[in-house]
Amino acid sequence: MKLVVVGAAGRMGRTLIRIVAETPGMVLTGAVEREGAAEIGADAGLLAGLEANDVKVTDDPLPAFAKADGVLDFTSPAATLQFSELAAQARIVHVIGTTGIGPEEETRIEAAARHAPVIKSGNMSLGVNLLAVLVREAAKALDDDFDIEVLEMHHRHKVDAPSGTALLLGQAAAEGRGIDLAQHSVRVRDGHTGARERGDIGFATLRGGSVIGEHSVVLAGEGEVIELTHKAGDRTIFARGAAKAALWGRAKKPGLYSMADVLGLNKEQDR
């Protein structure tokens, strides 16, 4: 499978280039960065700490997409929107790891997914997607005597909050409870907030240092607290998930899919 990595010079972009190089059945055919980026023209292999691979970083996605089967995209919401339209035109698989995507952009990505397979998830790791299944089950088993709070910590460079993973876990909890997350989520608390509303799902965000990504869902009842936690030790867990998603998506019809679809976890949930 011929793949393009967009945002090639980023933290995830460099990790993805390494994972593509070591994944059987995959080859890197394009590496795209933002216009004016210092890495334009650089060898993508060297950029990722590998041997030179003769793929030069470009700021022109169109020719790269035209000769590829898929694109791995961990960039920014604006860039992802642009790439989703180009991937749809080229009819190639678009794997989206970018977080912080708003409702308007979401609608346009759904439109692009009518023309090509799109796999999108706030977290591409096996562990977090399994955690979401556990959270859904826990929220279903316990009534709203148990207050649900989602905690996350990430490195100091992260620009969006709550994290895509925190929102994914909050959504799983809301589904387990049979409620609409938008109606019950509390994203900020400051000053005299009043007592906690029964049934709310709270979010708390920490930023600092080089933390790759840590998430906990806390279910707090009278006299007992349950904590479900995932800690990412390495960005390769996300990149391996993205590579798996691309290979899976190649055989799929156009549509918007999740990492739970790729991992077969939605079937478990439907049983």
Ligand X SMILES: O=C(O)C1=N[C@H](C(=O)O)C[C@H](O)C1
SS3 69: coil
Q: Which does 136 bind (CB under 5 to 8 A by kind): ligand X, ligand NDP, none?
A: none
Distance CA(234)–CA(232), nearest Å, equals: 6
155 annotated as a binding-site residue: yes
Residue 94 binds ligand X, judged by CB under 6 A:
no
Beta bridge partners of 57: 31
Counting Cβ atoms within 10 Å, is residue 170 exposed (0-12), middle (13-18) or buried (19+)? buried
Residue 258 binds ligand X, judged by CB under 6 A:
no
164 annotated as a binding-site residue: yes
Q: Is 53 or 165 the residue whose CB approaches ligand X more closely?
A: 165
Nearest-5° Cα angle at 95, 172 to 23: 110
Q: Is 187 or 250 the residue whose CB approaches ligand X more closely?
A: 187
Question: Which residues contact residue 164 at a Cβ distance below 8 angstroms, ignoring those fewer than 6 apart?
Answer: 99, 100, 121, 122, 123
| Shortest spacing between CB 46 and ligand X, in angstroms | 23
Tell me whether residue 184 is one of the annotated catalytic residues: no
81 CB neighbour count, 10 Å cutoff = 20
| Shortest spacing between CB 24 and ligand X, in angstroms | 25
| Shortest spacing between CB 188 and ligand X, in angstroms | 17
Q: Is 213 or 249 the residue whose CB approaches ligand X more closely?
A: 213
Residue 123 binds ligand X, judged by CB under 6 A:
yes
Q: Which does 154 bind (CB under 5 to 8 A by kind): ligand NDP, ligand X, none?
A: ligand X
| Shortest spacing between CB 221 and ligand X, in angstroms | 27
Q: What is the DSSP letter of 56?
A: B
Cβ proximity of 56 and 42 under 8 Å: yes
Alpha-carbon torsion, ordered 198, 135, 240, 256, to 10 deg: -70
Cβ proximity of 142 and 217 under 8 Å: no
| Shortest spacing between CB 25 and ligand X, in angstroms | 25
Member of 14, 120, 154, 184 binding ligand X (CB under 6 A): 154
**Residue in 94, 115, 120, 158 annotated catalytic:** 158
Give the helix ranges, DSSP H, for the chain.
11-22, 44-47, 61-66, 77-90, 103-112, 126-141, 164-177, 181-184, 236-249, 259-263, 265-270
Distance CA(131)–CA(137), nearest Å, equals: 10
8 annotated as a binding-site residue: yes
Residues 212 to 241 in contact with ligand X, rule: CB under 6 A: 213
Tell me whether residue 94 is one of the annotated catalytic residues: no
- Judged by CB under 6 A, the number of residues near ligand X is 9
Q: Is 123 or 258 the residue whose CB approaches ligand X more closely?
A: 123
**Residues placed in the known binding site for NAD(+):** 7-12, 51, 97-99, 121-124
Q: Which residues are catalytic?
A: 154, 158
**Residues placed in the known binding site:** 7-12, 51, 97-99, 121-124, 155, 164-165
